[in-house]
Amino acid sequence: MVHTDNVLRAITDDGAFRVIAADTTATVRGALQAQQVKTRELTRTFADLLTGAVLVRESMAPDNRLQAILQGDNPRARMIADTHPDGATRGLVQLPADVSAMPLGENGLLQIARTLSNGSLHQGVVRVPAGSNSVSAAFMAYMQESEQTVTMIAIGCHMSNGEVAAAGGYMVQLLPEVAEGPLAVMTERLKDFEDIVPLLARGRASPEELLAETLYGMPFTKVGDRPVSFGCRCSPDRLAMSLASLPRADIESLMEEGKTLEIECDYCRKKYDFTQQQLRSLIESN
């Protein structure tokens, strides 16, 4: 059976909490396969970035695109997650050739860029909390600073035999009406699920189950259920547009061999051919 991912949104009937829970297993697998990530550590970091981006988009910009850019202690080490309202999500791992790890706990940065409904771009950047080395902690810091709401985020990826067996996460937000009583109850309860990898490992971390666990005993209403999938928005036209933005001399040097040029999308590895004639017309329209 083909695994399909989704993200659920729910609000407690007393208006105190909002929970967003996502299964990103197939999405993460697709993105990992395209990026050829080498180590377990990098796999986890990349998986968590993709899941976090889906959760934050669903919370702040469900109808808009969101990009999350994670920069390691080494500023040349970067990962990008790019997620769209229809659920199509892709990622990019950019590591220098001599680097095989991406620690975050000293100088790591998380940048979030989202398109607002009027088309303009909103960007914010936070430091990965010192010593945490945690993508979840970075997303929590971002939500705290940009939304000024208390947000608890748990993201995880369970690996088995070097493969991603399950990936996902949840976000619990305290809505403005919250009183101290329920907050204390929730804080206590979430201590059990701060690390969701054990739930993922037991196959008990579907969005439905995460909602049921985090909101146990609290009446709630589901307000959203959307698909999530690995998907790229590249096309011959889009690649042509990025080629056309290169300086004329660069396009000319690409044409030097006189052959059809094959260009690969960095996100999904799909290959596109550009004939000499197409390249020439790019220069002319440049």
Sole binder of Zn ion in the list 93, 268, 279, 282 (CB under 5 A)? 268
Binding flag, residue 28, Zn ion (CB under 5 A): no
| Calpha distance 154→51 (Å, rounded) | 10
Stretch that binds Zn ion, among 24-32, 115-123, 130-138, 228-236 (CB under 5 A): 228-236
Binding flag, residue 232, Zn ion (CB under 5 A): yes
Other Cβ atoms within 10 Å of 39 Cβ, number: 11
Q: Are the C-beta atoms of 102 and 79 separated by less than 8 Å?
A: yes
Please state whether beta strands 109-115 and 66-71 pair in parallel, antiparallel, or not at all (unpaired). antiparallel
Stretch that binds Zn ion, among 28-36, 119-127, 222-230, 259-267 (CB under 5 A): 259-267
Give me the residue label for tokens 């469900």. Answer: 62
Stretch that binds Zn ion, among 7-15, 69-77, 227-235, 239-247 (CB under 5 A): 227-235
Closest C-alpha to 19, from 158, 219, 192:
219
Least spacing, CB of residue 235 vs Zn ion, in Å: 8
Helix (H) or strand (E) holding 15: none
| Calpha distance 30→71 (Å, rounded) | 22
Here's the x/- map for Zn ion, 134-163, by CB under 5 A: it reads as: ------------------------------
Least spacing, CB of residue 74 vs Zn ion, in Å: 26
Nearer Cβ to Zn ion (68/211): 68
Binding flag, residue 234, Zn ion (CB under 5 A): yes
| Calpha distance 94→78 (Å, rounded) | 5
Least spacing, CB of residue 62 vs Zn ion, in Å: 23
Least spacing, CB of residue 265 vs Zn ion, in Å: 3
Least spacing, CB of residue 176 vs Zn ion, in Å: 40
Least spacing, CB of residue 130 vs Zn ion, in Å: 36
| Calpha distance 16→52 (Å, rounded) | 22
Q: Which residues contact 3 (CB under 8 A, 6 or more apart)?
A: 25, 26
Binding flag, residue 80, Zn ion (CB under 5 A): no
Binding flag, residue 196, Zn ion (CB under 5 A): no
Helix (H) or strand (E) holding 70: strand 66-71
Judged by the rule CB under 5 A, the positions of this chain that interact with Zn ion are 232, 234, 265, 267-268, 270
